[in-house]
A and B are shown apart, each in its own frame.
Chain A
Amino acid sequence: MKLRQEILKVLEKNARTEWKELAVLLDAPEEDIRNEVSAMEEEGVICGYHTIINREGTEEEKVSALIEVRVTPQRGMGFDSIAERIYKFPEVDSVYLMSGAYDLMVILTCKNMQEVANFVSMKLSTLESVLSTATHFIMKRYKDHGSVLAKRYEDTRELITP
């Protein structure tokens, strides 16, 4: 279990860490690490490996929005079935069940504002159990998944100290 947590700690920061390097960093046999990672993929502990992209540096323009959704939970299903209806849309990045003033937080990425508007008015709001939506556009990403975007780390220490 300890190895599992140690693997996750390294992969969470850098999913591209190679097997060989993982074995050195964690002082464990490569074989064990491979097995552990496969097991975690199998069990759904590791659900994917993604790249954090700072869109400001790319040609391709994308618009992200965060939508607060209030819904009527369904008997026997709670929020699960409506959440599934929503997360099946490919443009949806994340869906979270929230405590507080609204129920589901939906984050989506589209080509432009028009697409977001269409999604909300044509697809999301028209779902029967959706009571209301409030859409917020993301204007600038400073930090995402633990990575600070756009600003490089600068070592400001004295170069040599005792």
Chain B
Amino acid sequence: MALPLNRQVLEMKPSGIRKYFDIIQGMEGAISLGVGEPDFDTPWHIRDEGIYALEKGRTHYTSNAGLMELKQEICAYLQRTQQIPYTPDQVFVTVGGSEAIDLCVRAMLNPGDEVLIPQPSYVSYEPCVVWAQGKAVIIELKEEHEFRLQPEQMLEKITDRTRLLVLPYPNNPTGAIMTREDLEPIAKICVEKDIYVLSDEIYGELTYDSKHVSIASLPGMRERTIIASGFSKAFAMTGWRLGYAVGPAAIVEQMLKVHQYAIMCAPTMSQYAGIEALRNGEADVNEMREEFNRRRRFLLHSFEEMELPCFTPYGAFYVFPCIKKYGCSSDDFAMRLLEEERLAVVPGTAFGDCGEGFLRISYAYSLDNLKRAMKRLKRFIGKL
């Protein structure tokens, strides 16, 4: 008899990075540039607040939506950084930004509703949409556009079933950003065609040339944008599992209903630490951003020296070099690089088929580590 398993779950292909993980695990002296989280530990004053919360016995549930104090701090933060006036009833605290993404599509989609997903992008959008009975419509971002979403590309894919656009900027895996000028035509289309936006701004603090602009800050967009964000990348708090969703109260309320039944509430001690992060963490964020920026420049310079083409990314902590000139697939390149030079990177295809011909290289590593890795990459390229 067949196992009682959901067909849609069964049919979803597992993440493309698993096999690399299995190989590198048993490998002596391997260097990985494959992680999607900061190398910094959470700043000590934030950790200390978490410890203090435990000490004080803050070990119980909070309200479903999270601590009022934290929600107020999130509102203040969005006012400060994006000049968007949110109120606490438009915010709730989630288990990482990824939960907010899942809840958003679950609360908003009816069977067959279409969601525009620009790729290459984070791995969870497509499965979440499919499991929410929606239809994922992929928009293939192009290197010639610096992986920014083009209004024409969007118009091509819109049908009368299009409900939602996922806007994944600053982008994992490409490091691409969208400026205000880039966002304006997109916003215009959304308003005209009555399309809502799920804006994944988890890397919003990590931009290197200009400040991140949320599409929700554009005219007419606050009432049709759900921001999914969190503390993981900005404050180096990945393990705390702390994020939030912000948006129109009527939508947030329904998302909160799902959260209430599925999760109950985000970890309590993490929430207390989150308050400290938003109140007193700005200097840490600036420090980490500067350090990331120096590494970004170092990698781009190294690529230039070894004549590996790469567009200049201005966000997140990834570079996305193009390996098409070597005439092999991303997967083959990454696999050989791992086997021959014991250097792990992630093939672009892990983030969508249009990632073919690219590699995601993370610079969430110390400069010394990056230097050693670039030596290996250079040697490998020399052999091709």
Interface residues of A (CB under 8 A from B): 6, 9-10, 21, 24-27, 153, 155, 157-162
Contacts and interface: CB of A to CB of B under 8 A. Distances in A.
Contacts of B301: 24
Contact of B24 (A21, A160, A162): A160
Interface of B: 15, 17, 20-21, 24-25, 30, 32, 34-37, 39, 122-124, 172, 290, 294, 297-298, 301, 344, 346, 350-351, 366-367
B294 A10 contact: yes
Contacts of A6: 290
Contacts of B294: 10, 25-26
A27 B32 contact: no
7 contacts: A9-B290, A25-B367, A157-B35, A159-B25, A160-B35, A161-B17, A162-B350
A21 B122 CA distance: 32
A12 to B, nearest CB: 12
Nearest to A160: B34
A6 B289 CA distance: 13
A159 B298 contact: no
A11 to B, nearest CB: 12
Q: Interface centre among B30, B35, B172, B366, by most A CB within 10 Å?
A: B35
A161 B34 contact: yes
Contacts of B124: 162
Given A159-B24, A161-B35, 7 more contacts: A25-B294, A26-B297, A158-B21, A159-B35, A160-B20, A160-B34, A160-B346
B239 to A, nearest CB: 9
Contacts of A25: 294, 297-298, 367
Contacts of A9: 290
A159 B297 contact: no
Contacts of A24: 297-298, 301
A161 B37 contact: yes
Nearest to A158: B35
B39 A157 contact: yes
Q: Interface centre among A26, A153, A158, A161, by most B CB within 10 Å?
A: A161
A160 B344 contact: yes
B39 A155 contact: yes
A158 B37 CA distance: 9
Contacts of B32: 159-160
Nearest to A161: B36
A30 to B, nearest CB: 12
Contacts of A158: 21, 35
A9 to B, nearest CB: 7
Contacts of A155: 39
B238 to A, nearest CB: 8
B313 to A, nearest CB: 14
A153 B366 CA distance: 10
Contacts of B21: 158-160
Nearest to B300: A24
A10 B298 CA distance: 13
Across chains A and B, which 10 residue pairs bring their CB atoms closest together, nearest first?
A160-B34, A25-B294, A24-B301, A159-B32, A161-B36, A160-B21, A162-B123, A160-B17, A161-B35, A159-B24
Nearest to B18: A160
Contacts of A21: 298
Nearest to A24: B301
A9 B283 CA distance: 14
Nearest to A155: B39
Nearest to A25: B294
Contacts of B36: 161-162
Contacts of B290: 6, 9
B381 to A, nearest CB: 19
Nearest to B21: A160
A147 to B, nearest CB: 13
B29 to A, nearest CB: 13
Contacts of B346: 160, 162
A161 B366 CA distance: 17
Contact of B17 (A26, A27, A153, A162): A162
A97 B191 CA distance: 64
Contacts of B367: 25
Contacts of A159: 21, 24-25, 30, 32, 34-35, 344
